[in-house]
Amino acid sequence: MAQPDTNDFLAGVIEGFYGPPWVQAERLELFDWMASWGLNTYFYCPKDDWKQRAIWRQTYTAEETSTLRELIAACEQHGIRFIYALSPGLDIRYSDPAELDHLRLRFEQMISLGCPNFALLFDDIPDRLDAADLDRWGSLASAQCHVANTMAAWVRERLPGARFLFCPTPYCGRMADARLGGEDYLPTLGRDLTPGIDILWTGPEIISKEITVDHAREMARVLRRKPLIWDNYHANDYDGRRFFCGPYSGRPRELIDEVAGLLVNPNCEFQLNYVAFRTLAEFVRGSGPWDPRAAYLAAMQEWHAQFATCGIPISVEDLVLLGDCYYLPYEDGPEAAALFQKLAALLGSDPSGWGGAANDFRATAVRLRDACARMAELRRRPLFYALCRRVWELREEMDLLERYVGTMAASQADGSRFGSDFHLPGTYRGGFVDRLQRLLRQTPEGHFLPAASATRTGQASRDHLHKDTPAVL
């Protein structure tokens, strides 16, 4: 595999998630990381910038332009390509020439700030046209191609070297298979979209466990150009209880030769993305077979410097164990997986036969519980704020399970009467959403079935919140 052309291959970070955007200081820290690691692209499209998506026709205020000008200048100083996107698809009228004027006005303002590259995004929108648009264009793909081709040509008249990106409405294999956007949407893009426009693609899924060389080649055949990967593997805006600090994985290094670039759309919390960005950089700039676990351990060793505390230090080993609990969407890290298997084996067997296995589990549980608690002493407070809700939930689980295993190992009794003064009904694992989540269970194949608790009446469920549970201390 050849090293990618640093002037052509896009490797970097998308700020494109749902939720609070990063603050300026975080973005500037990101650019320092990227420049030192060899990442070359920052793609600005946070969903919570209303003028990027919800009210895309409105220009930025003087204060907003000052922020964007600083970002663009910082990228230039660091040798990083800045890309700005608009997402007009929620309400654009494709057949109205005034809409193109709005797009030109928005892009013109960004050009005046020094923006060198642009994108139009048509993701997460209704896949239908109004009567006037359907009558003129015949399909959503044709209407979007017209807008994108017009704007790409307009931008390149002013900025001949500009990169121009396009995000389709069906942006993964599953969406395309479901005919989102209409019949032949992707082949129409491949045929009608100007060849120099990059097409963003997330892989077989919105969050793809794997992206293979064969998949990338098939998409290149359909799109008539190499796909540009918008990689959601570390994104967490769909699940506020988790974050992902595992390595860049599930993609072979040979993929680099088959795509126009690799851009990661990561955890919403900037502070939690060090390993994702660091391992992406190693994946792109390194050579030879890719070892995700080795890259993870090396990156965690570096990240550990940010975990200085005002109390008992957090060891690298404890940080790795904690990170394994928040690894990747489809897998736990090895240490977390081993801990889970040990616990599952204990709970599935008679306490009289637990022996030393109970002590082994309890020692690891206490170690993990205490590491979570020590996060409250982090000197880097934004890092603690990003972690606190997640790791406190993990701390509570470890505390409960360690107490349960300890009590059962000591008494070798039936655990049906075990309780804890620290974990009371309605407060611990409480709330409406939690109860909803218990009504359906998901099979490994992805199907949903009623859980056993789903047969209870609503009154019985409410009564459960108030019944007394004896504590075993």
Token couple for 380: 């880097």
Among candidate residues 48, 101, 124, 370, the one labeled active-site is 124
Token couple for 211: 């992206």
Asked if 261 contacts 11 with a C-beta cutoff of 8 angstroms, the reply is yes
Residue type, 161: G
Give which of 149, 165, 67 is closest to 116, Cα–Cα: 165
Q: Tokens 């070892």 belong to which residue?
A: 291
Phi-psi region of 385 (alpha: psi -120 to 50; beta: other; left: phi over 0): alpha
The Cβ of residue 35 has, within 10 Å, a number of other Cβ atoms equal to 16
Q: Rounded to the nearest 5°, which phi and psi values hold at 378?
A: -60, 135
Q: How far apart (Å, rounded) are the C-alpha atoms in residues 228 and 83?
A: 14
The verdict on whether 434 is a catalytic residue reads no
Asked if 68 contacts 113 with a C-beta cutoff of 8 angstroms, the reply is yes
Q: How far apart (Å, rounded) are the C-alpha atoms in residues 21 and 270?
A: 9
Q: How far apart (Å, rounded) are the C-alpha atoms in residues 242 and 325?
A: 9
| Catalytic residue positions, numbered | 124
